[in-house]
Amino acid sequence: MILKTVYHFQNFIANSGLDLSEYGSYLYLLILCAVLIPAVILGVFQLRTKYYGVLVSVGMSVLLIWFTRMGMRYFVLFLAVEIFLIMLYSHIRRKGKNKVIYYLFLLSSMSPLLIYKFSSLAGSDFFGFLGISYLTFKAVQMIIEIHDGAITKVGGFRLFYFFVFFPTLSSGPIDRYRRFDEDISRKISRKEYLSDYLPNGIRKIIMGLGYKFVLAYLINTYWLTVIPSGHTFLHILNYMYAYSFYLFFDFAGYSNFAVGTSYILGVKTPDNFHLPFLSIDIKDFWTRWHISLSKWFGDYLYSRLTMNIMRRKLFKNKHMASYTAQIITMFTMGMWHGFAVYYLLYGLYHGLLLVLSDLYERKFPLHRKWKDNFAYQCLQVFVTFHIVCFGFLIFSGYLFK
Amino acid sequence: MRDKVIKMLEDVCETTEIRDNQDVDLFEAGLLDSLGTVSLLLEIEEVFGLSLEPTDVDRSQISSVNRIVAFLASKGVSE
């Protein structure tokens, strides 16, 4: 009976052309408003929102994934597998550290994404569901921190909530379990809710609206999609700027929505963007662009790789260790986006940029002399902006069409 | 312990100004970055025998000499 209703509803949505993507349509925003009102009431009355949060998250994932045919059965299977792996590993880890078991669990926790990515190479979307790339980060991170001994207690309910938490379901920001767990366990006073969580949540949602529904929409409609075809130098340049601004306002808009919605549910999901086009160099850019992703790669890949290389003394100086880790990290980041040539190139490009800009800043005497000069800093921002935009041009795949 | 920490930071940050202001924020001053953090963790491992992963410490716990000293004390380092 329920299945039949869902089936009819799926058909209805498919035929109606209704857009139910996360923060992607006015219909979605309307539903969002409806589900957030009870959360605000709970917040005002100082009641815990986590039970309501789980309920709404389950409902929203049904809406976002099941009704829109985005791979609900794989989502359910993913949750079951990852939660089982994490609980089991946490149990085993209490008895002691074992490298082989650790790597086995690490690989297993990544396997849904690996299976999906490799099957997509073969042109199928086996194991694909909305949000798989982002949810995998949450799982891998937990296995690593359980191994470190940083996460010692894992509750089934809280773990489930961490994974299904709907505001960040489809594209992040990627939260951390310890932080999330602390947030949902603490009691928020009315004063705090009314002076911090609610107004800041609403402010971020309004920013999301402005970024995604006004700026990204305008850029896409009146700039990006009206660039004439044909790869002349001017068209390419024009596309590069248009695409970079579109990508930023669309993704930063989505992220603002996600963070704002989280706040209203009493969770301070970390911000994802901080004026990335005003970065002074490439290293600075990666602390301002898609922050939750670059921090993830920084913490769980780059830093650990660098430490291991330095421990083994593979290189004489620490900068060589860091450069090697930077290139491997950025290449992996590129690969995470997909196996298309332009994603791999994008990763390599940023890896090399990190190395070259570090060499420039450490070795070029004029840089040291000028670095506090305002005009020089403006020039740095200008140059970094263009280097970054060229990266997005590669990323867009436009040059390969 | 304090002297060892200062010595460590002088090596990692490649500067001799560490001792003068032990409350200065090393990240804001541009003296520590992610590579610096990694080097510092390895130094702590070598000198104090305390093995730490990058996600075991928060930036705010190691952002100045005084904070590092307090952090190490909280981890049971006493010498």
pLDDT grade for B21, boundaries at 50, 70 and 90: confident
**pLDDT at residue A5 is higher than 90:** no
**pLDDT at residue A40 is higher than 70:** yes
CB contact under 8 A, B54 and A303: yes
Tell me which chain B residue has its CA closest to the CA of residue A298: B34
Omega of the bond leading into A38 within 30 degrees of 0 (cis): no
**pLDDT at residue B79 is higher than 70:** no
Find tokens 């549910």 and name the residue. A265
Any chain A CB within 8 A of the CB of B70?
no
In a domain, A295, yes or no: yes
Cβ contacts of residue A279 below 8 Å, gap of 6+?
Answer: A285, A288, A289, A381, A384, A385, A388
Structural domain spans, chain B = 2-74
Q: For residue B34, list chain A residues with Cβ-Cβ distance below 8 A.
A: 298, 302-303
pTM above 0.90, yes or no: yes
CB contact under 8 A, B53 and A150: yes
**pLDDT at residue A357 is higher than 70:** yes
Mean pLDDT across A205-210:
97
CB contact under 8 A, B53 and A148: yes
Note down the domain range covering A394: 277-400
In a domain, A339, yes or no: yes
A337 is catalytic: yes
* ipTM > 0.90 for the complex: yes
Tell me which chain B residue has its CA closest to the CA of residue A312: B42
In a domain, A319, yes or no: yes
Any chain A CB within 8 A of the CB of B14?
no
Give residue-wise pLDDT tens across range A110-162: 999 999 999 988 888 888 899 999 999 999 999 999 999 999 999 999 999 99
Domain termination residue (choose one: A255, A274, A293): A274
Any chain A CB within 8 A of the CB of B31?
no
Tell me which chain B residue has its CA closest to the CA of residue A150: B56
Distance from CA of B66 to the nearest CA of A (A): 24
In a domain, A158, yes or no: no
Distance from CA of A165 to the nearest CA of B (A): 23
In a shared domain, residues A339 and A312: yes
Q: Helix H segments across chain B? A: 2-13, 34-48, 65-74
Domain termination residue (choose one: A238, A258, A274): A274
Instruction: Please tell me which of the candidates A148, A300, A306 has its beta carbon nearest to residue B35.
Output: A306
Catalytic residue chosen out of the listed positions A337, A350, A367, A386: A337
Q: How many CB atoms lie within 10 A of CB A167?
A: 28
Instruction: Please tell me which of the candidates B39, B41, B56 has its beta carbon nearest to residue A150.
Output: B56
pLDDT grade for A2, boundaries at 50, 70 and 90: confident
Average pLDDT for chain A: 94
Tell me which chain A residue has its CA closest to the CA of residue B34: A303
**pLDDT at residue A8 is higher than 90:** no
In a shared domain, residues A358 and A245: no
Better-scored residue on pLDDT, A8 or B3: B3
In a shared domain, residues A377 and A297: yes
Residues of A350-379 as b/e, b for ≥16 C-beta within 10 angstroms? Answer: bbbbbbebbeeeeeeeeeeeeeeeeeeeee
**Structure token digits, residue A96:** 């002691």
Q: How far apart are CA A42 and CA A58, in angstroms?
A: 18
User: pLDDT at position A19, please?
Assistant: 81
Domain termination residue (choose one: A236, A256, A274): A274
In a shared domain, residues A260 and A288: no
Any chain A CB within 8 A of the CB of B61?
no
In a shared domain, residues A335 and A260: no
Contact A256, A207 (CB under 8 A): yes
Give the torsion sign (CA, B1, B3, B4, B9): positive
**Which of A145, A176, A303, A315 best probes binding to B when mutated, by most B CB atoms within 10 angstroms?**
A303
In a domain, A149, yes or no: no
Tell me which chain B residue has its CA closest to the CA of residue A323: B35
In a domain, A165, yes or no: no
Lowest mean pLDDT among A174-183, A223-232, A275-284, A381-390: A223-232
**pLDDT at residue A12 is higher than 80:** no
Which stretches of chain A sit within 8 Å of chain B by CB? 144-145, 148, 150, 283, 298-300, 302-304, 306-307, 310-311, 318-319, 322
Give the total number of structural domains in chain A: 2
In a shared domain, residues A250 and A358: no
In a shared domain, residues A344 and A248: no
Give residue-wise pLDDT tens across range A235-281: 999 999 999 999 999 999 999 999 999 999 999 999 999 999 999 99
Distance from CA of B31 to the nearest CA of A (A): 13
Q: How far apart are CA B41 and CA B53, in angstroms?
A: 8
Cβ contacts of residue A198 below 8 Å, gap of 6+?
Answer: A40, A43, A263, A264
Better-scored residue on pLDDT, B12 or A331: A331
User: pLDDT at position A140, please?
Assistant: 97
CB contact under 8 A, B55 and A144: yes
In a domain, A135, yes or no: no
Distance from CA of A279 to the nearest CA of B (A): 15
In a shared domain, residues A287 and A229: no
What Å distances lie between residue B73 and B57, B69, B78, CA to CA? 14, 6, 6
CATH of B2-74, one of 3.30.1060.10, 3.30.450.40, 1.10.1200.10, 3.30.70.20: 1.10.1200.10
Contact A249, A24 (CB under 8 A): no
CB contact under 8 A, A307 and B54: yes
In a shared domain, residues A294 and A201: no
In a domain, A354, yes or no: yes
CB contact under 8 A, B39 and A144: no
Any chain A CB within 8 A of the CB of B55?
yes
In a shared domain, residues A326 and A312: yes
